[in-house]
Chain A
C-alpha cells in the first residue's frame, strides 16, 4: 500500500481505465486534480467553455467506443456541463464527468462556487456520486466507469470535494470485479421469447427491421446484416442508427421518421411485423402512436427493460445485449423469402425519386442537398460526419450515405445545437486518421464557435462545412408550414465566417455556386489544420418529406414535384 492523495488516485484510476485524453477546464475546486495531472501521461484538451468539454468527450466516446472523460470545477464549471451531460444521457453515450466540489465542511453553506451538482444532474445522469472522503474515491471512480460503459451506456458524474482530492490514504488499485447489488444488466435473452419471436417471423408476410443505435453500441452490425439477409427482411434505420446497416445494401431502406424517406414510413405503416433492434420508438420516429403501424405485430429487442412497452406496446419484448440476442436468433433462423414485399417497397421508392431535389434541373442556386451530396461523392463516402442540429442535420442524414458504422455522429434525443463542432474535435482526437467533417448550420455553429480556438491550440484538424442559409432554418421551416410564414426571430445575421476562421489562425473559404463546391472540399482536404467553409445555400429551402409533430406517420408533407423555387415565388405573389 502506498500513500496517495485523492488527486493521484483520480489519475491512477483513469490510467488503469485506459483513459488517454481528458477534456476540461481548471478552477479553484479541481486545482489539486490539475496539479497532479502533470505527473501522468495523459493528454488534456483545454476547452473554451465546459459545454465544449462535455460534447468533445461525448464525440470522443461515440467515435472510439471507449469511455470519454470531461472535467470541470465546481459551481459554474459544473453547471456549464449540464447540456452536454443531458445530450450524452439521451443518446446513451458513455462519458464520465469529474467535477470539483467545495471543501466538504463548507458543503451546504452556499460557499463560493458551490452548487448541488449531484442534485442538478440527478435526472440527466445514469448515476452520480458525491465523494467527500478520500477513502471512497478509488472504488467510486471504478464504479463510475463500470456503470458508464455496461448495460445501456450513459453518463456518470463524480463530484469530488476539494479536501477529498487533497487528503491522502493508503491505496492501491484493485481490479477485483465490481459487484453492485442493484445494478446487474440483463445481457442474456430468454430463449422462450426468442422462440416466440421466431414463430411470429415465420408467418409474417411484410416484416421490417427497425435498427437503432443499440446495434452500434453492442457491435451487432454483422449479426444484423446476417439476420436481414437470411430472413430477407428490409432494414430501416433511426437517425442514430445510421451506419448500423450499409446504406448501399439492397435491403437497406434508409432513415425512418419525421424526416425519413417517404417509402420507409409508408412501408412501416403497411408492415405486418416490426422487429425493433436497439431503438426506442421515439416520438420523432413514430408520429401519432394511435395510428402507428396499425397492422404490425411488434418484437422489441433492447438492453434496457424500461424501453419495452414504454411508447409502443409490443407483442414480444426481449431484454438483453442485442448482439447476443441476435446470435441466439441466428442459431435458429431459416432462410426466408419476402420478394413480393421487397419489390412492393421498391415501387414506393420509384415514386419518391421524382420529388428528390437531386433530380431537379439546375436553377443556378446552391442547395444544401447539393453540398452534402457532393461531400459524399468527393470523400468517397468515407468521411466521419459529425453534425449539429437542424435542417443541415436532416439533409446530412438523407444525402450522406454511410456504408460503414461509426462514421456518423449526431445529437439525436436531445437535439443539442452547438454539439457539432466540439463533438467533431473529440471524434478527431479519438480517430486521428479519420477524415472528420463537421456539418453545421449558421445558428448552431455560433453556439460553440469558440471551440475553433481549441482546435487551433490543439492542432486538431476538422473540416467544418457551414450550411449557411441566414436563418435558424428548421425553426423557419416550421414557421413557414405551421405559423403562416411569420418569421419571428429566425433571420440570423452571422459574422464573416472566413475572417472568424482566420482570426483563429485557421483557413476559411466561402462558396456561393455549385461549381465551386468541389474545389472547396478538395482544398479543405489538402490543407493542414482546421478549415471552415461557409456554404451560402438557398435560404428558404425546406427539409422534405416531413411528418408534422404528432401527425400520422404516412401523412407527410412532400417536396412539390416541380421546381420549389418557382412555386415559392408564386405563393408569395
Chain B
C-alpha cells in the first residue's frame, strides 16, 4: 500500500541525494518526493510517497534514521492528515472552447494564471483525486502541457512535527514487538 512519510532533514548540500540514494539501494520505489523549507531555520521537510507493506515501511523509516542528516521521520498514512498537490496545466483555449474551459476552472475552484489568444495556464491545488478528476475533464479540451509538484502532507491538529529536543538518542527505537 501507498505510504506518506514526512522527514525533517538538515538543510545541507547533498541531503536530497542521500535520501534518494537510500531508496534506490534499499530497493524502495519513490512515487513522489517534495522538498522545501520549514518554519525552523536549517531544517527542510520532505514529503515522500512510497509503496510497501507496513513491515517494509517500518524498516525504511529505520534506514532513514541511519542517515546522519535526517532529524525526524513520521508516517502520516494512518493518521488524519491534509494532503495537497499543485498542478499547472496549459490548455488549448481557442475562442470556440474558451468558455467551456473557464467554466470547468470555476467548478474546480482552480485559477487562471496566464492567458494567450490560443491557450490558458491553469493552477489547481487539492488532493490527488481532485486533480486527477480535473485533468480528466480538461483532457478532451486539449491539454498541451502539465506539471505537478507531488504530494505535500501535514497532520491535522495542534501538535507540530518536531523532533524530541534531546535525551535518549533521536527517540527511534523501532517496533517494540512483532504481532
B174 to chain A, nearest CB (A): 4
B-contact bits for A521-546, CB 8 A (1 contact / 0 none): 00000000000000000000000000
Stretch at the interface among B56-64, B94-102, B110-118, B132-140: B56-64
Give the distance in Å from the alpha carbon of A118 to the alpha carbon of B12 in the complex.
Answer: 14
Asked whether any CB of chain B lies closer than 8 Å to the CB of A290, the reply is: no
Q: Which of these, B13, B55, B67, B174, contacts A319 with CB under 8 Å?
A: B174
Chain A residues, CB < 8 A from B174:
305-306, 308-309, 317, 319
Q: How far is the CA of A534 from the CA of B67 in the complex (A)?
A: 45
A182, A186, A315: the one within 8 Å of B173 (CB) = A186
A182 engages B17 (CB within 8 Å): no
Q: Which of A188-196, A261-269, A370-378 contacts B (4 or more CB under 8 A)?
A: A188-196
- A515, B42: Cα distance in complex, Å: 69
A-binding segment of B31-39, B45-53, B76-84, B161-169:
B161-169
B107 within 8 A of A: no
Given contacts A184-B166, A184-B170, are A306 and B68 in contact (CB under 8 A)?
Answer: no
Q: Is B17's CB under 8 angstroms from A122's CB?
A: yes
Q: How far is the CB of B147 from chain A (nearest CB, A)?
A: 27
When distances are taken between beta carbons in the complex, the residues of chain A under 8 Å from B69 are 182
B70 close to A187 (CB less than 8 A): no
Tell me the complex Cα distance, A185–B170, Å: 7
Minimum CB–CB distance for A490 against chain B, Å: 31
B130 proximal to A (CB < 8 A): no
Residue B9 at the chain A interface, CB threshold 8 Å: yes
User: How many residues in A have their beta carbons less than 8 Å from beta carbons of B?
Assistant: 32
Distance of B136 from chain A, by nearest CB (Å): 41
Is the pair B172, A186 in contact by a Cβ cutoff of 8 Å?
yes
Bound Cα distance from A133 to B162, whole angstroms: 31
Q: Which residues of A contact B177 (CB under 8 A)?
A: 196, 314-317
Residues 1-29 of B at the A interface (beta carbon under 8 Å):
9-10, 13-14, 17-18, 21, 25
Interface string of B147-179 (1 = CB under 8 A from A): 000000000000000010010111111111110
A127 B65 Cβ-Cβ under 8 A: no
What total of chain B residues lie within 8 Å of the partner, measured CB to CB? 35
A332 in contact (CB, < 8 A): no
Mask for A422-450, Cβ within 8 A of B = 1, else 0? 00000000000000000000000000000
Does B109 make an interface contact (CB < 8 A)?
Answer: no
Q: SS class of chain A's interface: helix, strand, loop or mixed?
A: loop
Q: Does A181 contact B (CB under 8 A)?
A: yes
- Quote the shortest CB–CB distance from B172 to chain A (angstroms): 5
Q: Are A309 and B178 in contact (CB under 8 A)?
A: yes
A547 at the interface (CB under 8 A from B): no
Cβ contact within 8 Å between A315 and B63: no
Q: Which residue of B lies closest to A147 (CB)?
A: B68
Residue A562 is within 8 A (CB to CB) of chain B in the complex = no
- Contact assessment for B170 and A306 in the assembled complex, using a CB-CB cutoff below 8 Å: no
Q: Say whether B92 faces chain A, with CB atoms less than 8 Å apart.
A: no
On whether the beta carbons of B176 and A305 are closer than 8 Å, the reply is no
A127 contact set on B, CB distance < 8 A: 68
In the complex, the chain A residue whose C-beta lies closest to that of B55 is: A309
Note all chain B residues with C-beta closer than 8 A to A122.
Answer: 17-18, 21
> Are the CB atoms of B25 and A305 closer together than 8 Å?
no
A122-B17, A304-B66, A306-B65 known; A319 vs B173 contact (CB < 8 Å): yes
Contact of B169 among A147, A184, A193, A196 (CB under 8 A): A184
Q: How far is the CA of A430 from the CA of B23 in the complex (A)?
A: 38
Q: Are B172 and A305 in contact (CB under 8 A)?
A: yes
Tell me how far the C-beta of B18 lies from the nearest C-beta in chain A, rounded to whole angstroms: 7
Q: A122-B18, A182-B9 are in contact. Are A309 and B58 (CB under 8 A)?
A: yes
How long is the Cα–Cα vector from A260 to B168 in the complex, in angstroms?
37
Q: List 9 A-B contacts (CB under 8 A).
A: A118-B14, A122-B18, A181-B42, A182-B9, A305-B65, A305-B172, A313-B55, A316-B176, A319-B169
New A-B pairs, 19, CB < 8 Å, besides A118-B14, A186-B169: A122-B21, A126-B68, A130-B13, A130-B14, A182-B67, A182-B71, A184-B170, A185-B169, A187-B168, A187-B169, A190-B173, A305-B65, A306-B59, A306-B62, A306-B174, A308-B174, A309-B178, A315-B178, A316-B177
List 5 A-B pairs, minimum CB-CB distance, nearest first: A186-B169, A306-B62, A308-B174, A305-B174, A182-B71
Interface of B with A (CB < 8 Å)?
Answer: 9-10, 13-14, 17-18, 21, 25, 42-43, 55, 58-59, 62-63, 65-71, 163, 166, 168-178
Q: List the interface of chain A (C-beta within 8 A of B).
A: 118-119, 122-123, 126-127, 130, 147, 180-188, 190, 193, 196, 304-306, 308-310, 313-317, 319
